[in-house]
Structure 1
Amino acid sequence: MSPIQPTQIKPKNFKFVKANAMERLPFEDNTFDFVFQRYMFTGCIKKKWPDLINEIVRVLKPGGFLEVSFRPSKMFDLGPATQHLFNGLTELLEQGGLDSDIYQKLDNYLQNQGQLENIKKEVKQWCKV
């Protein structure tokens, strides 16, 4: 998050909170009706995903809505140079303890969390240019 946040365009009932979900979010249990988390695949190591999901669910009200969004780590119909680049990136992520295929496993983490219901996974293929 940028250290400078916009002030002229934000609603009056809104404030930016900088926090680390890998430690503890600075909110009480059951605070939010809706939690949106995206692009965390480069910010969470493999073994910490269950902890991260638990922390997000902790601040979600019962009956609340959780939306998790990722850019898929598998791209389709890549040319040889792009495929080589993508393979190198995947290798770097894995060496750093990150899970380059988290989008394939996330629904299992959510199911195993135990408090979530009606889990739906939607995968969209990137457009070909």
Structure 2
Amino acid sequence: MSVVDTDVIDAIGLEKEAQRVFLSIIDALVWDAENVHLYTLQEKINTYLHFIESGELDKALPDGKGFDIAIELILKHMPSDPAITFFDKTTQILLDKGIIFVFGPNRDSGYVEQQS
């Protein structure tokens, strides 16, 4: 799965010790001047939000019921300035709904731009 599959949840994980459910978005798209990437990402996040708010998450992962929920955006490319602005707004909107939003590179490989 990837960010372009806007109607699909890419990955779900559960950290029992931290009592947190992670819904991950895998994003390998390059940032573009027309912001098509941002619109695609917005659609994907809206799908995740619907999945959470509709109760589908609790049905799919009953062991995580009552846990904190985080949407984790795993990026291949370093975000553009408009993307950072979008992430800041998204963070606040989701926090108001009790959802944590985190983003960054793959922990093992980093951003493509940082690889040597």
Taking structure 1 as the reference length, the TM-score comes to: 0.36
User: Which structure dedicates a bigger proportion of its chain to strand?
Assistant: 2
Taking structure 2 as the reference length, the TM-score comes to: 0.39
